[in-house]
Structure formats: C-alpha cells, structure tokens
C-alpha cells in the first residue's frame, strides 16, 4: 500500500513538475507509460478522436437503408419489365415465379441479395400489387395530363367475355393532340356490374345535390350524361381486349380485377411506362407509411 502511494506521488510529481533528469530519461519514460495517469490520459485522447456512438449508429442505419433501397428499385424495375412484356409475376408459391427469379438473379451487390433473402416480406404478393398499382396510377396521370391540352374529347366503351366468363368493360378516351393527331387512350377496365354500380352511384350523387351546388359540377354532370347515353358498340376497344387475352389466360384465370386492370393499362401504354421516373414513384411508395420511411429512408 505504501509503495503504491509513493509511486502515485512520484507520477504526480512527474506530471506537475516535468522531467529534468535526462540521464534516466528512457527508464523513466517506460515507467510512466505504465502508470495510471498516462493510461487514463491516452484513453481520453482516443475517445476525443473516435466517432460518437450516435454517429456510428446513424451510419449503420443509413447503410442498411441504402441496401434496402437498392432492392426496392430493382423490384420496381422487375415489375415494370414483366407488365410491359405481359408476363406473369407469380408461380405456385412465393419464390416460384418470374418476379422472384429475376430479383434473385439481377439484385446486386451481394449484401443487397442477402437483405432480400432476409426481408422477403417486401417482395410479397401484396407489395407486388402495390408496385403495379403505383405504376398504373403514374401512367394514368400522364394520360390525363396529355388529354388536358385538348378542348374536346370523347369516350367510347365496349365489353367482351374473358376466359373466366366475366364480362370485361373497357373505356377509352379520344382526343386530338396539339399536332392534330387523334389519340386513343385506354383509361381502364372493369367488370360489367362494377361499372354499372359506379356510374349509377355517381348519377345518384349528382341528382341529390342542391341545384345551386350542382352548378359547380357542370362538367362532371355532362360527363355522367355522356357515360349513361353513349352507345358502346364500337370496334376501337379491340386493342385492349387483345391485351386482356394475352394477360388473362386459362393459366391465370383467377387474377383479381384490380390487378388485371392495372396490368392491362401498363401493357397497352408501353411508351408511357418506359418514360416514367421510377425514383419519384418509389419516393411516393416509401412515403405512404412510417415503416417504409424507416426501412428505406427518405431522400430529398
């Protein structure tokens, strides 16, 4: 105990008074390097130069988010390719289909593929449907933006029976662009019952409005009148039915109506699909829930 106290006093004198006996410099320096004062000082200097724990955690989270975003971007590209070519996404189970196989083969680097295998819930059937829906809505916005430049437009509709004996109703928008070319754009497809209920509900809503309030929706009222009175026996919708026959075969007769409509829209308007900004659409997809923001990160 006395020896330890004497050693500590000697170290303290060395620190406060400095070193003057240079004949024993090497020996004294070696002894000082083993002292508690020196070791404590070295650890404090190392702590000042090291990265804070919060910064290290932020760096790890950012790296994980970047890896997850690589997988998500590849998922959007894969879904875009499949709907463009009219190919099925799914197989007999979750990992048996074109979508999963393309993701497994094309996802790089290795840490992104490992993340995909570990978090494959982000490639589930529901996520695939949401990705297709996001792409379809983006295409619809492009079509509406293009049609808004024309002062006159028309709607045509036609129906046919698909492989599952459901009557498919296809609606097309006709307008003249700024170069005086007639444009025919498919807006979507529904089953007969769903379309009738939609138009009927809209007509009931308009008729229930106060006359002065109805005046605010004059253009919508005209559109309802057009939808209810327009003859639907036309041949211009055959293009969409050809696409439906390619998409909804007997092997895929159970595809949902919502998914089929989005896939048909994307398959028909390939040129619009190819011009979409995937980064903006991915940002919209991520911004829908807090969980997606924390998983994939938000980029300004």
57 within 8 A of 35, measured Cβ to Cβ:
no
Residue in the block written with tokens 């790296």 = 63
Comparing 208 with 197, the larger pLDDT belongs to 208
Q: How far is CA 42 from the centre of its chain?
A: 49
DSSP annotation string for 78-137 = HHHHHHHHT-----SSTTSSHHHHHHHHH--SHHHHHHHHHTGGGGSHHHHHHHHHHHHH
Q: Tell me which residue has tokens 């004949």.
A: 23
Distance of CA 244 to the CA centre of its chain: 25
The percent of residues above 70 in pLDDT, for the chain, comes to 60
- The secondary structure element, H or E, covering residue 35 is none
Average pLDDT over residues 124-130: 92
Give the pLDDT of residue 130: 94
Task: Dump pLDDT digits (tens) for 62-81.
Answer: 899 899 999 999 999 999 99
Digit-coded pLDDT (tens) for 178-191: 777 777 777 765 55
Transcribe 150-212 into DSSP letters: -S-EEEEEEEEE-TTS-EEEEEEEEEE-TTS-EEEEEEEEEEHHHHHHHHHHHHHHHHHS-HH
Residue 292 three-state SS: helix
CA distance 265 to 272: 10
User: For residues 63 and 35, is the Cβ–Cβ distance under 8 A?
Assistant: no
Four-point Cα dihedral 290, 296, 298, 300, nearest 10: -160
Mean pLDDT of 11-31: 66
Burial of residue 166 (CB within 10 Å: 0-12, 13-18, 19+) is middle
Q: What confidence score (pLDDT) does residue 114 get?
A: 93
Higher pLDDT, 233 or 91: 91
pLDDT tens per residue across span 260-284: 888 888 888 899 999 999 999 999 9
Q: pLDDT at position 90, please? A: 81
- Whether 234 and 154 have beta carbons less than 8 Å apart is answered as no
What's the pLDDT score for residue 80? 96
- Which residue did the predictor score with more confidence, 202 or 26? 26
Q: How far apart are CA 3 and CA 15, in angstroms?
A: 18
Query: Per-residue confidence at 285, pLDDT binned at 50, 70, 90?
Result: very high
Task: Kindly indicate the confidence band of residue 166, based on its pLDDT and cuts at 50, 70 and 90.
Answer: low
The pLDDT assigned to 165 comes to 60
Name the residue with higher pLDDT: 36 or 242.
36
pLDDT beyond 70 at 294? yes
pLDDT at residue 256, as a whole number: 76
Average pLDDT of the chain is 74
Average pLDDT over every residue of 111-140 = 92
Position with higher pLDDT, 237 vs 94: 94
More confident residue, 160 or 105: 105
286: pLDDT confidence band, cut at 50, 70 and 90? very high
Q: Between residues 73 and 154, which one has the greater pLDDT?
A: 73
């Amino acid at each position: 105990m006395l020896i330890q106290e004497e050693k500590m006093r000697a170290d303290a004198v060395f620190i406060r008074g400095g070193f003057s006996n240079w004949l024993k410099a090497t020996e004294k320096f070696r002894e000082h390097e083993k002292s508690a004062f020196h070791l404590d000082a070295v650890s404090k200097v190392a702590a000042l130069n090291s990265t804070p724990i919060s910064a290290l955690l932020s760096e790890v989270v950012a790296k994980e988010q970047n890896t997850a975003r690589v997988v998500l971007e590849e998922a959007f590209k894969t879904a875009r390719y499949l709907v463009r070519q009219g190919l099925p996404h799914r197989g007999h189970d979750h990992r048996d289909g074109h979508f999963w196989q393309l993701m497994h083969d094309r996802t790089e680097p290795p840490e992104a593929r490992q993340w995909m295998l570990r978090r494959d819930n982000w490639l589930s059937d529901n996520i695939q449907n949401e990705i297709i829906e996001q792409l379809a809505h983006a295409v619809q916005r492009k079509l509406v933006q293009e049609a808004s430049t024309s002062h006159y437009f028309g709607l045509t509709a036609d129906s046919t029976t698909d492989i599952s004996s459901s009557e498919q109703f296809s609606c097309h928008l006709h307008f003249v662009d700024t170069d005086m070319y007639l444009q025919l754009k498919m807006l979507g497809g529904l089953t007969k019952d769903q379309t009738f209920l939609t138009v009927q509900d809209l007509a009931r809503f308009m008729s229930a409005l106060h006359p002065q309030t109805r005046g605010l929706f004059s253009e919508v009222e005209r559109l309802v009148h057009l939808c209810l009175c327009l003859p639907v026996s036309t041949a211009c919708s055959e293009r969409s039915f050809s696409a439906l026959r390619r998409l909804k075969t007997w092997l895929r007769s159970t595809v949902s109506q919502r998914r089929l409509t989005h896939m048909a829209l994307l398959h028909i308007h390939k040129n619009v699909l190819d011009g979409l900004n995937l980064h903006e659409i991915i940002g919209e997809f991520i911004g829908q829930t807090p969980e997606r923001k924390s998983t994939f990160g938000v980029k300004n």
